[in-house]
Amino acid sequence: MLKFHNTLTKQKEEFIPINPGKVGMYTCGPTVYSYIHIGNLRAYANADLIRRYLVYRGFEVRMIKNITDVGHLTDDDIAQGDSGEDKMEKAAKKENKTPWEIAQFYENYAKEIEKEMNILPAHFFPRATEHIPQMISIIESLLAKDFAYEKNGNVFFDVTRFPDYGKLSGNTLENLAIGARLEDPHPDKRNQWDFALWLKAPENHIMKWQSPWSVGYPGWHIECSAMSMEYLGASFDIHTGGMDNIFPHHEAEIAQSECANGVKFVNYWLHSQLLLVDGEKMAKSKGNFYRVEDIKENGFTPIDLRFTYLLSHYRSQMNFTWGALAQAQKNRKTIENFISRLNNFAPADTTEQKTISIESYKEQFDAAMDDDLNTPLAITILLALVTEGNTLMDAQKLTNATEVSSFIIKVLTHALGISLSDTKEEIPAHVMELLEKRNTARTQKDFASSDQLRDEIIALGYDINDSSTGTSLSKK
């Protein structure tokens, strides 16, 4: 039974989509004012993992990921989306470009990097700037129903009108009243926790639109409500994001969407934990972030990074270290070498042959992933298969190498999103033959032949890696 941990209920729940067999899924996409970093990519790789695993389990998934190209303010992590500068405009001024040029550049960059990370493109990447009429219409309906109010051209959502406010984050008005205070709430607000739906643009603001209230721009939160509704309907199955999106962003999305539509907005909220650097959140605003380029410069591939994410459960904090990346690379290479060995394997020994039970490995793998995507366990299971397979190949006993290879390729590439590397040197058949001969010599304790074969292999330009999971080759 497939179960996900739902932030809304704080429990693991069986996943049952609204329409049998079909899943509507929304992910808060990048704010395109800077390069996406490996922290953002943890959240996006996780959304892709959810999608891929659902497809592997036979669901048809419609995935929407927005592009925030307006209205995300520099202070809205702490405030309610109404103070600070627009991040796009700030970057535009700094780089001496228009906000549209900035947005286009960083959007292209984000998509390019996601491709390198083998993250499947969303079915739609709606841009906030192209959905202003939809946002205005939701705001009009909130005003008509008295869930929002206007003052001096600014429109705010009235949190006191939504009794369920706080149901996602636990930040109910009662809890917020104890201790929490905003530094500099907007003067037009009735309650400091009200959040902006529309803000009147200052004179020199570049990205602004006509509205019934002022020439202005939308609040960040309303963008995601408008774009998810447009492409997935008023109620849909899964919404993902990083933990830092829970409050205020997702709490606000729920409030305004449920008040506008009168129906439950999202059934399952899945949030991935943050990636830390030296114990601190990695964030664009802190400047302590690594990009995929840094990963590559240090001799790793984007897929190694993706593999690193899998070694921690998505709801555990993960401290980024180069050691963890090296471990992931080693695991990836072990599995890839295993696949290449399987693909070249023909058993010499005709007695005492053994078949690996793929069914049993599949059952274990599926059970781990069904349990709220337990990827560390799923990888452990795959590595156990590698060990068993290599041992049987060493002893020339494995009968179903092709079947093992197809299984591992399927789960690795389809379900986990770990593509086999392009740069992987196809090890030529004559070299693999030498390796098999060496393995046989070793099993027969004929060390003279085994050493001679090893030297021949090394002379052909390969390293032999003997490990507890078996023997593999890599190009020097």
Q: Which of 43, 132, 310, 379 binds ligand AMP (CB under 6 A)?
A: 43
Residues with Cβ within 8 Å of 368's Cβ and at least 6 positions away in sequence, in order, are: 374, 375, 377, 378, 381
Q: From the list Zn ion, ligand AMP, none, which binds 270 (C-beta under 5 to 8 Å, kind-based)?
A: none
What sign results for the dihedral spanned by CA atoms 346, 349, 350, 355? negative
Q: Could you list the beta-strand ranges (E) of 224-373.
A: 236-242, 266-272, 275-277, 280-281, 318-319
State the residue for tokens 């309303």. 222
Q: Which of 6, 7, 134, 245 binds ligand AMP (CB under 6 A)?
A: 245
Q: In this chain, which stretch among 223-231, 307-315, 347-355, 405-413 interacts with Zn ion, using CB under 5 A?
A: 223-231
Residue 441: HSE in the Cβ half-sphere, 13 Å Cα cutoff: 15
Judged by CB, which is closer to ligand AMP: 176, or 318? 318
Q: From the list Zn ion, ligand AMP, none, which binds 224 (C-beta under 5 to 8 Å, kind-based)?
A: Zn ion
| DSSP bridge partners of 276 | 281, 319
State the residue for tokens 């032999």. 464
CB of 36 to ligand AMP, least distance (A): 7
Q: From the list Zn ion, ligand AMP, none, which binds 77 (C-beta under 5 to 8 Å, kind-based)?
A: none
63 is an interface residue for ligand AMP by CB under 6 A: no
CB of 278 to Zn ion, least distance (A): 28
Q: In this chain, which stretch among 117-125, 224-232, 281-289, 461-469 interacts with Zn ion, using CB under 5 A?
A: 224-232
> Burial, 106: exposed, middle or buried (Cβ in 10 Å; 0-12, 13-18, 19+)?
buried
CB of 74 to ligand AMP, least distance (A): 11
| DSSP bridge partners of 182 | none
CB of 281 to Zn ion, least distance (A): 18
By CB under 5 A, what part of segment 114-143 binds Zn ion? none
- Residue 348 and residue 396 in contact, taking contact as beta carbons nearer than 8 Å: yes
- Residue 128 and residue 68 in contact, taking contact as beta carbons nearer than 8 Å: yes
CB count within 10 Å of CB 98 equals 14
Q: From the list ligand AMP, Zn ion, none, which binds 207 (C-beta under 5 to 8 Å, kind-based)?
A: none
CB of 431 to ligand AMP, least distance (A): 42
DSSP 354: B
Measured N-to-C along each axis, helices 358-370 and 401-409 cross at an angle, to the nearest 10 degrees, of 10
How many chain residues touch ligand AMP (CB under 6 A)? Answer: 16
Rounded CA separation 470/388 (Å): 8
CB of 389 to Zn ion, least distance (A): 43
**3-state SS assignment for residue 346:** coil
Q: By Cβ distance, which residue is nearest to ligand AMP?
A: 242
What sign results for the dihedral spanned by CA atoms 114, 120, 233, 230? positive
405 is an interface residue for ligand AMP by CB under 6 A: no
40 is an interface residue for ligand AMP by CB under 6 A: yes
71 is an interface residue for ligand AMP by CB under 6 A: no
169 is an interface residue for ligand AMP by CB under 6 A: no
Q: Which of 8, 23, 28, 473 binds Zn ion (CB under 5 A)?
A: 28
Q: Which of 117, 197, 207, 224 binds Zn ion (CB under 5 A)?
A: 224
Q: Which of 283, 311, 377, 383 binds ligand AMP (CB under 6 A)?
A: 283
385 is an interface residue for Zn ion by CB under 5 A: no
- Residue 384 and residue 356 in contact, taking contact as beta carbons nearer than 8 Å: no
49 is an interface residue for Zn ion by CB under 5 A: no
45 is an interface residue for ligand AMP by CB under 6 A: no
* SS3 letters across 27-71: ECCCECCCCCCHHHHHHHHHHHHHHHHHHHCCCEEEEEECEECCC
Q: From the list Zn ion, ligand AMP, none, which binds 242 (C-beta under 5 to 8 Å, kind-based)?
A: ligand AMP
Judged by CB, which is closer to ligand AMP: 208, or 221? 221
By CB under 6 A, what part of segment 114-143 binds ligand AMP? none
Q: Which of 5, 42, 186, 208 binds ligand AMP (CB under 6 A)?
A: 42
**3-state SS assignment for residue 158:** coil
**128-137 burial by CB neighbour count: b if 16+ within 10 A, else e?**
bbebbebbbe
Tokens in use for 362? 């599949």
75 is an interface residue for ligand AMP by CB under 6 A: no
**378-416 burial by CB neighbour count: b if 16+ within 10 A, else e?**
bbebbbebbebbbbbbbbbbbebbeebbebbbebbeebb
Judged by CB, which is closer to Zn ion: 87, or 341? 87
Judged by CB, which is closer to Zn ion: 82, or 388? 82
248 is an interface residue for ligand AMP by CB under 6 A: no
Q: Which of 75, 85, 244, 456 binds ligand AMP (CB under 6 A)?
A: 244
**Would you report the helix, strand and coil content of the chain in percent, each value rounded to 5?**
45, 15, 35
Q: Which of 166, 219, 241, 302 binds ligand AMP (CB under 6 A)?
A: 241
Q: Contact residues for Zn ion (CB under 5 A)?
A: 28, 224
Q: Contact residues for ligand AMP (CB under 6 A)?
A: 28, 30-31, 39-40, 42-43, 241-242, 244-245, 274-275, 281-283
